[in-house]
Amino acid sequence: MVTPSANPTPITPPRVPFFDERSGLISREWYMFFLSLFANTASADLLLKGPAVQDTSGELANAIQTAQLAAQLGATQAEVADLQTTVQGLALAPPPLPLKRTRYGQFYDTTTQVAAAINTATAITFNTTDLSKGVTIGSPTSRVVVDSEGIYNFQTSIQLDSTVATAEEFYLWFRVNGVDVTNSASQARVQGNNAEVFLALNLFFSLKAGDYVELMFSVSNTGVQLLASGAVAPHPGIPSIILTVSDNL
């Protein structure tokens, strides 16, 4: 039988949270208030009705705890359902990948290029842009300028010719921002008059926006030149140089 309290628990102030943050159950203060309220209510009922009533305070506590756990379980199940929905949505529509900033250029020159003096660094120029996006011919026209930071692949092919009978030397190398690139040179020996030689070179460069690259050459005799010739059936025209540039992001 529930025994009424001579000093019932006072009403819990509003500042006391209903649920204990650590356990997630009803706080002790509110539990004691409800228990005291129940005990005194049961005692008043006993006085009015006469017969003894069974002590159900433990059942009340269990009912309150069960309701709390059920509420927590319902919230957890809802969270799991939301997570499953999100995962399924990602599987059906994955996040978009960042777009790659493709940069490229293709250039050539339709004139024969001759060094002004022997054993002197001479810049190769371009007079035609075939394709270009972010890679352009600068000023002077020997400069190939990039507008974005990245790793760039420079591939070039050159048509050499000689107008002298002796065997002569031709050297080719790269410059970046006016500075010779270490170990970038190639050498070709042109054997005698009308001895055409095809030369190709390929290098990668790590460049920043606004950097420029040049192709330089020197000869042991100014009779060695970069030859350009027009189309003669069945072949098309032959530029003195062709350069292709592409980024590798």
pLDDT of residue 195: 83
Is 131 in the same domain as 11? no
Please tell me which residue, 205 or 52, carries the higher pLDDT value.
Answer: 205
Phi, then psi, of 153 in degrees rounded to 5: -105, 120
- To which residue do tokens 């008059």 refer? 193
pLDDT of residue 61: 67
Is 119 in the same domain as 214? yes
Per-residue pLDDT tens for 15-28?
A: 677 677 777 777 77
CA geometry: angle at 203 spanning 228 and 168, to 5°?
A: 45
| Domain closes at, from 97, 124, 159 | 97
Helices (runs of H) and strands (runs of E) counted in the chain: 2, 13
Per-residue pLDDT tens for 146-165?
A: 999 999 999 999 999 999 99
Is 138 in the same domain as 58? no
202, 246 Cβ separation under 8 angstroms: no
| Domain closes at, from 97, 123, 154 | 97
Asked whether residue 55 carries a pLDDT value surpassing 60, the answer given is: no
Is 20 in the same domain as 137? no
Is 203 in the same domain as 119? yes
Buried/exposed code over 219-242 (b: 16+ C-beta within 10 A; e: otherwise): bbbbbbbbbbeeeeeeeeebbbbb
Is 43 in the same domain as 19? yes
Contacts with 84 (C-beta within 8 Å, 6 or more apart), sequence order: none
pLDDT of residue 56: 54
167, 223 Cβ separation under 8 angstroms: no
| Least-confidence region, from 82-86, 144-148, 177-181, 191-195 | 82-86
Average pLDDT over residues 63-78: 64
Is 111 in the same domain as 68? no
Distances (CA, A) of 39 to 1, 7, 9, 58, 68: 9, 11, 10, 11, 22
pLDDT of residue 53: 46
Give the CATH number of the domain where residue 134 resides. 2.60.120.40
DSSP 16: S
211, 177 Cβ separation under 8 angstroms: yes
Is 116 in the same domain as 234? yes
Is 73 in the same domain as 110? no
| Domain closes at, from 52, 73, 97 | 97
Average pLDDT over residues 96-123: 90
Domain membership of residue 52 as a residue range: 1-97
Please tell me which residue, 82 or 144, carries the higher pLDDT value.
Answer: 144
Cβ neighbourhood burial of 176 (10 Å; 0-12, 13-18, 19+): middle
Q: pLDDT tier at 238 (50, 70, 90 boundaries)?
A: very high
Contacts with 152 (C-beta within 8 Å, 6 or more apart), sequence order: 103, 135, 146, 204, 205, 206, 207, 213, 245, 246, 247, 248
Is 170 in the same domain as 87? no
Is 110 in the same domain as 226? yes
Is 69 in the same domain as 109? no
Q: How many domains does the chain have?
A: 2
Asked whether residue 192 carries a pLDDT value surpassing 70, the answer given is: yes
Residue percentage of the chain with pLDDT more than 90: 56
CA 176 to chain centre: 26
Tokens read off for 242:
């062709």
